[in-house]
Amino acid sequence: MPHTFDLLVLGDANPDVVVGPLDRPLAFGQHEHLVPTGLLTLGGSGAITACGAARLGLSVAIAGRIGDDDAGRFVRAALADRGVDTSALRVDPSLPTPLTTVLTRTDGDRAIVTAPGTLAVTGPDDVPEELLTRSRHVHASSYFLMPRLARALPALLGIARAAGATTSLDTNDDPAGRWDPGALAAVLPTVDYLLPNAQEARALAGSPAATTEQAAARLAGHGPVVVVKDGGAGAFAHDGENVLRTRGVPADPVDTVGAGDSFDAGLIAALLAGEPLARALDFAAACGALSTRATGGTAAQPTRDEALDALARNGKNQ
């Protein structure tokens, strides 16, 4: 059966209000803080990954749920403007579109405050089986924000793999701090590439005191290749036996919001293009670094040529 899309993203899509950077701790008591920048932009890990992949030339669809409100209409238009198919983005008649405020700091860290809205009810009925069986790769995001969808992922990703697709998962943070090892053990065998950052890798492995490489090895024992994003230190991939590393490309970030999602998009695009994992790691790291050139997760996402040029300038010819 011919493929309709290169990539199907199962995940979150919402407006992001990005403000900062704060140069001192946030104070309550009705105290007003002034910051240099504020931006209303497209957010959600799934949406940012989808847009990054479309920017790199992939045909991309997203499946999920938004509200019947101005925020939902903003999300759908922003995705469509970036070339993402939104026909499987379902409109919920009663719950609002999720909304996230991102507070950044001068040291590069950030706090994320999310009103989940439709995320709590997003589930397997929001994912058309036809898309699962006619996409070359299926990526799931924000695992802990969508518990109904998370429980269904072993079955959904199993359908995709049976139809010949590769799969990936970026869990992102668990706001509850539980990290649900039992459920993760069920889904990881259906995942080809697990894509945490360093802190998430240790939490997912239940090994907060372990090194990041030890945590990745433990997770790889469940089946996936574990690709760990480690900010300015680059990234590495662990298949349970071997480790590949990239130092990435230098960056002077304006805003790191969504950089990990742009990394995910780059890795998926490179793998679908038939690149070996080592080159895919370099390409993904370049995509993540270049995405930090502007505020918000999607404004500075690179084209394929831009990412290749960045690698060439740093002596990493593709």
Contact (CB, 8 A) for 45 and 12: yes
**What distances in angstroms separate CA 312 from CA 55, 82, 250, 301, one per listed residue?**
19, 26, 12, 18
The pLDDT, as a whole number, for residue 232 is 80
Q: In the CATH scheme, what is the code of domain 5-22+36-175+186-317?
A: 3.40.1190.20
DSSP state of 233: G
pLDDT tens series, the chain, 318 aa: 678 999 999 999 999 998 989 988 888 998 898 999 899 999 999 999 999 999 999 999 999 999 999 999 999 999 999 999 999 999 999 999 999 998 988 887 889 899 999 999 999 999 999 999 999 999 999 999 999 999 999 999 999 999 999 999 999 999 999 999 889 999 999 999 999 999 999 999 998 878 999 999 999 999 999 999 998 889 999 999 999 999 888 888 888 889 999 999 999 999 999 999 999 999 999 999 999 999 889 999 999 999 999 999 987 755
Instruction: Encode pLDDT of 46-65 as tens digits.
Output: 999 999 999 999 999 999 99
Contacts (Cβ under 8 Å, ≥6 apart) of 31:
none
For 183-198, give the DSSP string.
HHHHHGGG-SEE--BH
The pLDDT, as a whole number, for residue 173 is 94
How many angstroms separate the CA atoms of 16 and 26, rounded? 19
Contacts (Cβ under 8 Å, ≥6 apart) of 267:
168, 193, 195, 227, 280, 281, 283, 284
Cis peptide preceding 21, ω within 30 of 0: yes
The pLDDT, as a whole number, for residue 318 is 52
Instruction: Encode pLDDT of 245-283 as tens digits.
Output: 998 888 888 888 899 999 999 999 999 999 999 999 999
